[in-house]
Amino acid sequence: MAKEKVLIYKRFERFWHWAQALLISLLALTGFEIKGSYSLLGFESAVSLHNFSAVALMILIVFSIFWHLTTDEWRQYIPTYKNLSAQLKYYTSGIFKGEEHPVKKTVRRKMNPLQVLSYLGLKLVLVPLLVFSGIFYMSYRFTSGGQLMSFTPFTLEDIAFWHVLGAYLLVQFTLIHMYMTTTGHTVTENLRAMLTGYEDLEVEEQEPREELDKNLQTN
């Protein structure tokens, strides 16, 4: 099969990905300073930047949800167990033997089943955990109309517990994510694709979307 340069990550997707990468890095950097792990920007600047990045990220998330819904790209995240164990086997042994990736990457199916599961977990569990605990953290006390208000369904201690737990998990996710980008056909292939949008893919006969979904459901 011939390889062809294909636009796999669209402009918004790349913007979304890198903006998110920047914001999450800032949030982690400032968040762990606020937690007391180290001193870098100073507590006050760390808090301001953390709050600013958090709001920016939440806006970005709203836009990305809108984008996923309107472009039908959300279907990329429909979980499948087909090839899941093959993919696991590839990462734990095949990759060392120079075997081929068990799942072919296509524009309609950019992620392998393991990726789908991880990103689904990220988007449905981990990010909501951080976002909602963060919202509770930010709205624990606030002022409105010259009045001091409190929104305290949970104690600050509990909110911080879940927020910090989520933060550790997200840092771990990011570490593994960054490492996994090196497991393409070349070490930098995936990174380059996320920067330029284009990747050399083996072009298969285009399956109609309905066909693809049917396959997914039967498996």
Residue of 1, 81, 146, 210 that binds other proteins (CB under 8 A): 146
The answer to whether 78 contacts other proteins (rule: CB under 8 A) is no
Give the x/- contact pattern for other proteins in 94-123, rule: CB under 8 A: -xxxx-------------------------
Alpha carbon distance, N-terminus to C-terminus of the chain = 25
Q: Closest Cα partner for 6 from 217, 197, 149? A: 197
Residue with smaller CB distance to other proteins, 155 or 219: 155
Applying the rule CB under 8 A, the residues between 51 and 70 that interact with other proteins are: 56, 59, 63
Residue 189 vs 213, nearer CB to other proteins: 189
The minimum distance between CB 96 and other proteins, in angstroms, equals 4
For 97-106, b where at least 16 C-beta lie within 10 A, e where not — what string?
eeeebbbebb
Span near other proteins by CB under 8 A; candidates 42-50, 81-89, 109-117, 207-215: 42-50
Q: Which is closer to other proteins, CB of 187 or CB of 214?
A: 187
Contact present, 148 and 141 (Cβ < 8 Å): yes
Structure tokens at 167: 């933060």
Is the Cβ of residue 60 or residue 216 nearer to other proteins in the bound state?
60
Q: Is residue 187 within the footprint of other proteins (CB under 8 A)? A: yes
Question: What DSSP string runs through the chain?
Answer: --EEEEE-S-HHHHHHHHHHHHHHHHHHHHHHHHHTS--SS-HHHHHHHHHHHHHHHHHHHHHHHHHHHHTSGGGGG----TTHHHHHHHHHTGGGGTPPPSS---SS--S-HHHHHHHHHIIIIIHHHHHHHHHHHHTSEEEETTEEEE--SS-HHHHHHHHHHHHHHHHHHHHHHHHHGGGSSSTTHHHHHHHHSEEEEEPPPPPPHHHHHHHHHH-
Is residue 155 involved in binding other proteins (CB under 8 A)?
yes
Of positions 7, 58, 125, 175, contacts other proteins by CB under 8 A: 175
- Examine residue 161 and tell whether it contacts other proteins (CB under 8 A): yes
Tell me which of 36, 153, 204, 205 binds other proteins, using CB under 8 A. 36
Nearer to other proteins, 74 or 168 (CB): 168
Binding site for other proteins (CB under 8 A): 10-12, 15, 34-36, 39, 42-44, 47-48, 56, 59, 63, 95-98, 141-143, 146-148, 150, 155-157, 160-161, 164-165, 167-169, 171-172, 175-176, 179, 182-183, 186-187
